[in-house]
C-alpha cells in the first residue's frame, strides 16, 4: 500500500498505531543498513584479499622465470631453459604455462564476465581491455609454444668443430619468447588496485559511520494527559514533528527543534566548530546531535529524520563520494572510444610489421631478437600495443582519489561537496573564515607568566 500524509499533522508513530488498530503489526523500515553494508564490504575485502594473495603466489614465480632467471648461467637454473619436457617445450615455459593458466581463467574469470556484459550492451570499459590484453599475452605465448613444438625437428642447429684430436658437436635450439609473466602480473596488479580501492571505500565509510554515531538513538517523549505529564522513551525514528522531548544534562539533543521550557547550555562544536558552550533558553533553536550540558530542557521537534541538519550533512558527504569529478567524466567518455581505438592501432601495427617482414626491411631486427617467423614477430608488436594500453590507471585512480579525499575531509570536519570541488581545490589561493577565536595552530604555548611572592626565592630555579 502507498500512503500519502502531511508530516505537519501526522508521522510514523501515528501511522504504526493506526495499522496496529486494524490487527496488523508494523515497524519503521531501516533505510540505513550501515551494519549490513559494513559486513558486505568486509566480506568483499576478505575475498579480494584471498584472491590477490593467490594471484601473487602464482604470478611472482612466473615473473622470475620469465624476466630474471633466464639471465643466470648457473647449471641448475640454465637447465630449465635448455632442457625440454617435450621437443620444443622447455621446462621453464612448461612451468609458466602451468602457473599462469589458473591466474588467467580462474582468478581472472570476473574480468571475462564483466567484459562480456559490457560488450553485450554495446559498451567497452577497462574490464574489456584487461580481458583483451591478458588474453593476447596468454594465447600468443601458447601459440608460439605450439609452433615451437611443431617445428622442433627443424629448429635444431648442430655445430660441429673438428680438431686434430677431437670432434665437438654443439646442439642449440631457437629461443622461444613467451609473455606468460605479462598476463599473470597484469591481472595481479589490477587486483591490487581494486583491493586498494575497496580499502579506501572502507575508510570513507568509517568517516560516514562516525558522523552517524553523533546522532541520538533514543528520545524521551513528553505527553500531557488530563494535566499530568507522562514520559516515554522511544526510538529516534518514532519522533514526529511537533513532539515535545525531554532532554537531561549530558544527553544529546535527539532532533532539531526549539526550546519550549527550561534553560541550559549546548556544546555545538561538532557542527559549528565553536568550542564555547552556547546558552539555550525558551525560543532558542536546537541542533540535533549536539550535547546538552548542564540543565534540563523541553524541546519541540521541528525537523526530524532525514530533515535534520546532521542528517543533511551525512547525506552531503555520501553524495560527494558518489559524485564524479570532471576528469572522471572525461575518462569515461575517452574509455568508450579508447578500446576500439587500441584494437584498430594493434591491427594496423600487425599489418605494417607483416609487410616490413615480407619486404625484408626487418630482417636485421629479427636476427637481433633471435626470431625466424615473420608472423610471430608481427604478432609480438600487435600484442604489445594492447598490453601496454591495458591498465588504464586514470579510470582506477580517479574514483579512489575522490572517495579518499572526501572521506578524510569529513573525518577532519571539512565537508567537500563533490569531486568537482575537490578537483579545483588546488586553485585555492585564499580561505575566508566567518568566525573568530576558534582558529589555533594546534600547539599550545605560554603567552605570559608570573611568580607568586611566596615562591619569589625559587624564581631563579623556575627560569632554569
- Which residue numbers are catalytic? 434
Q: Which three cell numbers stand for residue 374?
A: 615473420
Return the bridge partners of 90, or none. 84
Return the bridge partners of 77, or none. none
* Torsion over CA: 446, 449, 454, 458 (sign): positive
Measuring CA to CA, which residue among 209, 196, 289, 276 is closest to residue 247? 289
Provide the 8-state DSSP code for 252: B
Are the CB atoms for 188 and 170 separated by under 8 Å?
A: no
Provide the 8-state DSSP code for 251: P
* H helix and E strand count, the chain: 15, 13
Q: Which three cell numbers stand for residue 455?
A: 615562591
Are the CB atoms for 267 and 293 separated by under 8 Å?
A: yes
Are the CB atoms for 95 and 58 separated by under 8 Å?
A: no
Q: How far apart are CA 93 and CA 139, in angstroms?
A: 13
Are the CB atoms for 268 and 290 separated by under 8 Å?
A: yes
The alpha carbon of 94 is separated from its chain's Cα centroid by a whole number of angstroms, namely 36
Measuring CA to CA, which residue among 395, 361, 391, 402 is closest to residue 378? 361
Q: How far apart are CA 186 and CA 126, in angstroms?
A: 13
Are the CB atoms for 264 and 257 separated by under 8 Å?
A: no
Amino acid at each position: 500500500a502507498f500512503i500519502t500524509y502531511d508530516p505537519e499533522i501526522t508521522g510514523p508513530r501515528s501511522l504504526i498505531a493506526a495499522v496496529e488498530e486494524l490487527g496488523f503489526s508494523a515497524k519503521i523500515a531501516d533505510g540505513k543498513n550501515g551494519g549490513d553494508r559494513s559486513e558486505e564490504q568486509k566480506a568483499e575485502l576478505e575475498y579480494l584479499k584471498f584472491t590477490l594473495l593467490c594471484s601473487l603466489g602464482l604470478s611472482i614465480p612466473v615473473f622470475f622465470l620469465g624476466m630474471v632467471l633466464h639471465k643466470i648461467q648457473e647449471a641448475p637454473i640454465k637447465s630449465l631453459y635448455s632442457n625440454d619436457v617435450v621437443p620444443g617445450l622447455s621446462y621453464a615455459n612448461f612451468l609458466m604455462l602451468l602457473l599462469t593458466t589458473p591466474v588467467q581463467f580462474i582468478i581472472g574469470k570476473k574480468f571475462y564476465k564483466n567484459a562480456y556484459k559490457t560488450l553485450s550492451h554495446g559498451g567497452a570499459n577497462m574490464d574489456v581491455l584487461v580481458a583483451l590484453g591478458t588474453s593476447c599475452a596468454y594465447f600468443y605465448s601458447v601459440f608460439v609454444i605450439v609452433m615451437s613444438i611443431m617445428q622442433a625437428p627443424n629448429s635444431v642447429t648442430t655445430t660441429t668443430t673438428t680438431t686434430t684430436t677431437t670432434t665437438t658437436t654443439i646442439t642449440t635450439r631457437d629461443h622461444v619468447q613467451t609473455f606468460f609473466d605479462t598476463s599473470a602480473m597484469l591481472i595481479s596488479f589490477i587486483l591490487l588496485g581494486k583491493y586498494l580501492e575497496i580499502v579506501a571505500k572502507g575508510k570513507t565509510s568509517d568517516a560516514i559511520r562516525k558522523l552517524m554515531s553523533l546522532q541520538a538513538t533514543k528520545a524521551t517523549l513528553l505527553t500531557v494527559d488530563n494535566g499530568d505529564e507522562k514520559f516515554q522513551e522511544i526510538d529516534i525514528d518514532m519522533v514526529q514533528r511537533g513532539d515535545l522531548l525531554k532532554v537531561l544534562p549530558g544527553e544529546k539533543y535527539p532532533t532539531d527543534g526549539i526550546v519550549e521550557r527550561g534553560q541550559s547550555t549546548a556544546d555545538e562544536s561538532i557542527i559549528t566548530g565553536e568550542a564555547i558552550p552556547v546558552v539555550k533558553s525558551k525560543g532558542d533553536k536546537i541542533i540535533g546531535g549536539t550535547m546538552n550540558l548542564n540543565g534540563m530542557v523541553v524541546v519541540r521537534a521541528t525537523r526530524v529524520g532525514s530533515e535534520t541538519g546532521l542528517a543533511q550533512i551525512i547525506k552531503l558527504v555520501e553524495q560527494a563520494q558518489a559524485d564524479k569529478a570532471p576528469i572522471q567524466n572525461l575518462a569515461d567518455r575517452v574509455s568508450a572510444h579508447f578500446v576500439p581505438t587500441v584494437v584498430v592501432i594493434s591491427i594496423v601495427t600487425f599489418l605494417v610489421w607483416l609487410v616490413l617482414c615480407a619486404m625484408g626491411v626487418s630482417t636485421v631486427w629479427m636476427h637481433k631478437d633471435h626470431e625466424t617467423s615473420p608472423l610471430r614477430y608481427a604478432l609480438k608488436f600487435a600484442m604489445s600495443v594492447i598490453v601496454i594500453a591495458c591498465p588504464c590507471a586514470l579510470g582506477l585512480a580517479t574514483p579512489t582519489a575522490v572517495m579518499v579525499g572526501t572521506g578524510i575531509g569529513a573525518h577532519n570536519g571539512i565537508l567537500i561537496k563533490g569531486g568537482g570541488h575537490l578537483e579545483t581545490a588546488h586553485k585555492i589561493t585564499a580561505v575566508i573564515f566567518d568566525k573568530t577565536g576558534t582558529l589555533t595552530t594546534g600547539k599550545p604555548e605560554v603567552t605570559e607568566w608570573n611568580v607568586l611572592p611566596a615562591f619569589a626565592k625559587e624564581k631563579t630555579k623556575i627560569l632554569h
